[in-house]
Amino acid sequence: MTSGLYVGLMSGTSLDGVDAALVDFSERMPRVVGHAHLPFDDRLRAELLALAAPGPDDLGRAANLANELARRYAVAVAAALEGTGVAQRDIVAIGCHGQTVRHRPDLGYTVQIGNAALLAELTALRVVADFRSRDVAAGGQGAPLVPAFHAAVFALRGEDRAVLNLGGIANLTLLSREGRVTGFDSGPGNCLMDLWAARHLGMPCDRDGAWASGGSVMEKLLAEWLGAPYFSAPPPKSTGREMFGEAWLRSALPLGAAPQDVQATLLEFTVRSIAAALQLAGFSAQRVIVCGGGTRNRALMRRIRMQLRPAHVESSSQYGLDPQLVEAVAFAWLAMQAMNHKPASIPAVTGARGPRVLGAIYPA
C-alpha cells in the first residue's frame, strides 16, 4: 500500500467550515480529483467557539459536537466524491484532522473533536484521525504538522523557500536550499480580524480586507502587541485561540479606539508578525508560497507582498494546488503516511524527541 486515493478533511481555526479533498497520490505531485466545502452555520460556529474556553458540561457538549461534526464530515466526503466516477471502495482511507477546541502542549495535551469511529461507520471507510497526540506524547507541540507535506511537494534544492499558511492562525514552513525543514506558528492569521468583523460588520470576515483598507494603523498599539513574549520566543512553538481569541481582544484593545482603525491594525499585526518571524528565524526566503483562506483577502496579500520584499510571493495555485485545499490535501497525505507506517512529524518543527508515525486508524 504505497499510494492511491485518499480523502483529506480539514476544519481549521477560522471555523468557516470543512474542506474535503479527494486526492490521487499516484504521481509525485498530488492531484485533487474532487473537492467540496461545507460551511458551518452561525449556531455551530458559536458552539465551537464557546467550547474553546472552559464552561458548563464541557464533556457533554464536546461529545455532542463531535458527533455532529462526524455527520457533517461524512456529507463532505460524499460531496467530494460526487461526479468523480470514483467508488468508495477505491479509497484507501480518510485523513480527518478534526476540530481543535483546546491546544495546550505546554500541559501535555491537545484536543481535536470529530468522532472518527462514527465517521468510519457513516462512510464505511478507514479513518485516520488524532494526528497530533502522538507528537505531544513524545514531548512535541503537536503542531504545525503540515511542514512534512510542504517539504514533499514544494521544496526545491538550490532555492530557499517559505510556505505560508494563512488560516485562523498563520504558520510558516521554511525549506532551505540544502534540504533542511523547519516550521512554526507565527501568530494570528485571520482569526482576530474575523472576530472583529463579526462583531462590527455582522459578517464572518472583512471581505477582501475592504474595511481594514479604509482604516489607519495604530502604530503604538501595534508595537505593544508585537512585544508579546510569544513573538520573541524561539521555535518550536505553536498557538491558537487560547492565546489569540476573544479574551485577547477584550484585554488588548484600548477604550474608544475606532473599530475600523482596529481592523486595519489587526491586519497589520498579522503581516508584521509574519515578517518578524522570518527575521527571528534568520531565514531569507527567495520565494514565499501562500495558501489558506487568507489568500482571498486582497488587502492582506498586498501588504504581505510589500512587507516580504524582495521575496517573490505567490499562491500555491502556481503548483496545481488550490490554496483553499492545501491543508485538506495535507491531511490526506498524512493519512497515507500512517497507512504506510511512515513517520510524518519533523522533530525540528515540533520539538518532539524523534519522528513519529502520526494518527490512530479506525477500520472501515
The backbone region for 268, taken as left when phi is positive above 0, alpha when psi lies in -120 to 50, beta otherwise, is alpha
Radius of gyration of the chain (CA): 19
Same domain assignment for residues 93 and 162: no
Same domain assignment for residues 201 and 307: yes
Same domain assignment for residues 182 and 313: yes
Same domain assignment for residues 122 and 188: no
pLDDT recorded at residue 320: 94
Same domain assignment for residues 178 and 267: yes
Same domain assignment for residues 32 and 136: yes
Same domain assignment for residues 173 and 311: yes
Mean pLDDT for all residues in the chain: 95
Question: CATH number for the domain including 239?
Answer: 3.30.420.40
Same domain assignment for residues 310 and 182: yes
CA proximity to 182, closest of 147, 230, 146, 142: 147
Q: At what angle do helices 42-51 and 58-81 cross, to 10 degrees?
A: 130
pLDDT recorded at residue 2: 61
What sign results for the dihedral spanned by CA atoms 61, 40, 298, 198? negative
pLDDT recorded at residue 6: 98
Last residue of a domain, one of 286, 302, 319: 319
Kindly give the confidence (pLDDT) of every residue in the chain, 364 residues in length, as a single tens digit, with 9 standing for 90 and above: 566 999 999 998 888 899 999 999 998 899 999 999 999 999 999 999 889 888 888 999 999 999 999 999 999 999 999 999 999 899 999 999 999 999 999 999 999 999 999 999 999 999 999 999 999 999 999 999 999 999 999 999 999 999 999 999 999 999 999 999 999 999 999 999 999 999 999 999 999 999 999 999 999 999 999 999 999 999 999 999 889 999 999 999 998 999 999 999 999 999 999 999 999 999 999 999 999 999 999 999 999 999 999 999 999 999 999 999 999 999 999 999 999 999 999 999 999 999 999 999 999 9
Domain count, the chain: 2
Same domain assignment for residues 151 and 193: yes
Same domain assignment for residues 135 and 169: no
**24 lies in which domain range?**
5-141+325-362
pLDDT recorded at residue 54: 85
CB 128 within 8 Å of CB 363: no
pLDDT recorded at residue 304: 98
